[in-house]
Amino acid sequence: MIVRIGPGGDRPLEFAAPPSKSMGHRAVLAAGLATGLSRVYNLGMSQDIKATLGAVRQFGAKVRPTDRFVDIEGRGGFATILRPVDCGESGSTLRFLIPILSLTGQQVEFTGRGRLFGRPMEVYQDIFDSQGLLFAQTPQGITTKGRLAPGEYRVRGDVSSQFISGLLFTLPLLHRASTLEILPPFESRSYVELTLAALRQFGVRADWDPERENTLLVPGGQRYHNREYTVEGDYSQAAFFAVLGAVRGGVTIRGLAPSSSQGDAAILEILERCGAKFTRQGDTVCFEKSPLAATRIDLADCPDLGPILMVLGLFCEGETVIEHAGRLRIKESDRIASMQEELQKFGGKLACEGETVTVQGAPLVMPGRLYGHNDHRVVMALTIAAAAAGYPAELAGAQAVAKSWPEFFAVLQQGGWQIEGEQE
């Protein structure tokens, strides 16, 4: 889909942050693994979440969505997996489910699209190989067979926290206790804490070992308990409009929990260091137009902010330095290369050396046609770049936003921006 972004920003924009996709995945899986009926409120129906809902249906849970909530009735066990598990383009769905569905003992095929099976999977490959289990990967999918055993697990902490979370969902269901050691450098720890929080909400526990750093103790023989759960607002999605508000003003975002464990909540502290002016009352944040100055940003615990922080750098005086950005290369696109290519069309100056990206603040020009690189966060970041700069823009591949936030363009329209779409 091609979207044309016209002039706008002529009226205040106020909206509720969309539901956290990270917490949505975790709530759906925990509810699907529980025995009995769970009710999940404020669950966003993005493509990624639909993939996870489809998967829990396949392993035996009943899923009944309504306008206000989704009922998920788990069976406390697993049905026979009769067909390949379609994970769409969702890395969370795939990496969470691989160890979980090992517990069926069946041969399970995982399918998907885009760059999903080009993303690193060596962590699971090594674990399955070490236990003599089948783990076969092709560009089209992954096939596994065999049940993971309890014991001592050691995983890298610098590839993706999704591997750690997948094991944390699985190990409590084994018959004996396990330990899970995360090897340094341990990045995206906040996502692991989100998983631990979700497990606690559904009656399952894993605790940090007080004597061994970055090691989790996971008792076996546990079970998930059904409950009601409300998904909190998503800081990673709100970040796009937070940057727009800092540059243009007139943006108010509701539903951002002040005590959130989301790593992407760092967006407010980053903006504050850049000189952004905003006020907070409870879960509502109001942004004013502000002169912005460059700062140094550590992306290790909030990698999803990478694309919009590169956009932020364009509007800051001086050189913005974004460290620990290397994992952006193994997302839905190579986000460093994608953003370099597209922001240059605005006259932006971006450079990358090793894992560090630098962005020079400078006057921008009207861009030529932009391309979304089949990456939802790239599409949203480029849209905000055009809206903040006040330039009309044409963006191809805009349908990628449906992966995480199908209503993104509708929210922008509420602020007066003209949005027109057509099929490519």
Give catalytic residue positions.
304
Beta-strand pair 207-208/215-218: antiparallel
Spatial CA neighbour of 118 closest among 92, 145, 137, 144: 137
For residues 196 and 6, the answer to whether their CB atoms sit within 8 Å is no
From CA 106, how far away is CA 154, in angstroms rounded?
25
- What is the token pair recorded at 273? 């260091």
In angstroms, the CA 216 to CA 161 distance is 14
Q: Cβ–Cβ contacts within 10 Å for residue 69, how many? A: 17
Q: How far apart are CA 137 and CA 143, in angstroms?
A: 7
Alpha-carbon span 239 to 266, nearest angstrom:
9
- Report whether 405 contacts 394 (CB < 8 A): no
**Strand runs labelled E in 211-326:** 215-218, 228-230, 251-254, 277-281, 284-288, 296-298, 319-323
